[in-house]
């Protein structure tokens, strides 16, 4: 049966009069999350107190929910775990991968990568010293830069600004051919595209859950470790939850079995409960259907904007096969234009220096929303409604 996107749309609470094209930054609230959170707070935490770790199954949430995410990212069951933040998971994967390739000291990434990933790599190189380096090239130059000096290839599959999508299987294969490992950040692709980490050969993958997976602000991150590494990878952040027997309280660390060893600190139970409920929306969703609808929506938006707003320049790849589920347009006054859109109920976001960014999530966005957003944008551009001091004053979060 094809995916019923009208049914998935009915599972979200969206404010009246809002066209929400920013789920690539923060997903909206699924209807069942508030009730699940209330139950976790009152019936579990409130009445079970500390016994909830056993009675309510809190201790198993990171791996149980990990299996739900595994289906969405094309991973094997039992090889994804939740917890901590995406930056922490990037650090974990990167440090472990470097230790697995000790004769090399180069981390290869691209200049379109999310800055936080690069910051974590820079910090780790400073800590390790002894010639470790982060090497970055333009996104389109990555393939040619993969050589036998590279220890680890670290890329975000979908560029956060442009939506440009890397070819995971091809780049991973090239990395493996020269003896390098591959880490993929799925922050802008998990829940948005047809991700296939197992088929694509990824050694590690990481991602956040508050974008397309709708876990709420600050929702926990996940990490995937390929089965071939699961029992040998050594976690750099050897936290007590990753210990073989956390409640033995041994003074020396022994890694847990498989993906359990990638756990670090105490799991954030309220955030995990919200994510668990949010993932109910995905029951019955076929990833191939999601991808096809995403392309349809993005293509319609691009065609509409280019026809009616010639002063805006497409900043995303034109070929949908090279694009995630977001579309970017460029304009020198991109920030002010986006503020004018938000004031009219079309919520996207801005990324420096000049990018208007729009996310298209088929779970709750359809062609009616796309066409309405194009019409409002066209009116703003035709009337220069963005050209006011109010819209040009930048807030802390853009």
Token pair belonging to 112: 């379109």
Beta strands in 44-129 (DSSP E): 80-82, 106-110
| Catalytic annotation, pick one of 20, 91, 160, 210 | 210
Question: What residues have CB less than 8 Å from 215, skipping those under 6 apart?
Answer: 27, 209, 271, 274, 275, 278
| Dihedral, CA of residue 97, residue 137, residue 189 and residue 216, to nearest 10 | 80
DSSP symbol at 44? I
User: What element of type H or E holds 128?
Assistant: helix 115-128
The C-alpha atoms of residue 242 and residue 247 are separated, in whole angstroms, by: 11
How far is 81 from 179, CA to CA, in rounded Å?
Answer: 26
Which two structure tokens, joined as six digits, stand for 189?
A: 């692709």
Which DSSP category does 247 fall into?
A: G
Among the listed residues 84, 110, 117, 185, the single catalytic one is 185
- Tokens read off for 227: 């089965």
Give the pair of three-digit tokens for residue 341: 């859109």
Q: For residue 210, indicate whether it is catalytic.
A: yes
Instruction: Round to the nearest angstrom and report the end-to-end CA distance of the chain.
Output: 40
| Catalytic residue chosen out of the listed positions 110, 354, 357, 364 | 357
Question: Judging by beta carbons within 10 Å of its beta carbon (0-12, 13-18, 19+), is residue 300 exposed, middle or buried?
Answer: middle
Bridge partners of 313, per DSSP, are 330
Q: Which member of 114, 160, 204, 329 is catalytic?
A: 114
Please indicate whether residue 114 is annotated as part of the active site.
Answer: yes
Q: Which of 89, 211, 261, 323 is catalytic?
A: 211
Could you list the active site residues?
A: 114, 185, 210-211, 357
């Amino acid at each position: 049966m094809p995916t019923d996107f009208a049914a998935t749309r009915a599972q979200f609470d969206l404010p009246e009069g809002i066209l929400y094209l920013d789920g690539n930054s923060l997903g909206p609230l699924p209807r069942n999350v508030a009730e699940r959170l209330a139950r976790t707070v009152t019936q579990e935490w409130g009445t079970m107190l500390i016994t909830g770790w056993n009675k309510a199954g809190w201790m198993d949430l990171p791996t149980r929910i990990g299996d739900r995410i595994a289906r969405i990212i094309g991973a094997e069951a039992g090889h994804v775990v939740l917890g901590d933040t995406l930056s922490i998971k990037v650090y974990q994967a990167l440090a472990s991968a470097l230790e697995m390739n000790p004769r090399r000291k180069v981390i290869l990434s691209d200049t379109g990568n999310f800055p936080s990933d690069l910051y974590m790599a820079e910090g780790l190189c400073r800590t390790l010293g002894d010639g470790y380096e982060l090497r970055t090239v333009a996104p389109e130059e990555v393939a040619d830069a993969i050589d036998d000096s590279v220890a680890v290839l670290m890329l975000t599959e979908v560029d956060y600004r442009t939506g440009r999508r890397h070819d995971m299987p091809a780049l991973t294969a090239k990395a493996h051919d020269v003896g390098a490992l591959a880490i993929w950040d799925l922050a802008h692709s998990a829940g948005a595209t047809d991700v296939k980490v197992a088929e694509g050969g990824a050694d590690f993958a990481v991602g956040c859950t508050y974008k397309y997976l709708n876990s709420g602000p600050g929702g926990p991150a996940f990490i995937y470790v390929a089965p071939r590494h699961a029992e040998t990878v050594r976690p750099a952040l050897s936290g007590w939850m990753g210990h073989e027997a956390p409640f033995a309280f041994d003074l020396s660390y022994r890694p847990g079995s498989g993906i359990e060893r990638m756990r670090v600190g105490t799991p954030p139970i309220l955030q995990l409960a919200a994510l668990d409920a949010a993932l109910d929306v995905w029951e019955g969703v076929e990833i191939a259907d999601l991808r096809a609808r995403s392309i349809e929506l993005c293509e319609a938006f691009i065609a509409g904007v280019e026809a009616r707003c010639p002063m805006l320049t497409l900043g995303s790849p034109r070929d949908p096969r090279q694009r995630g589920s977001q579309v970017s347009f460029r304009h020198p006054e991109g920030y002010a234009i986006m503020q004018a859109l938000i004031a009219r109920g079309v919520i996207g976001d801005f990324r420096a220096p000049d990018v208007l960014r729009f996310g298209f999530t088929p779970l709750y966005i359809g062609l009616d929303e796309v066409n309405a957003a194009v019409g409002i944008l066209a009116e703003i551009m035709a009337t220069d409604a963005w050209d006011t001091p109010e819209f040009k004053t930048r807030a802390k979060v853009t």
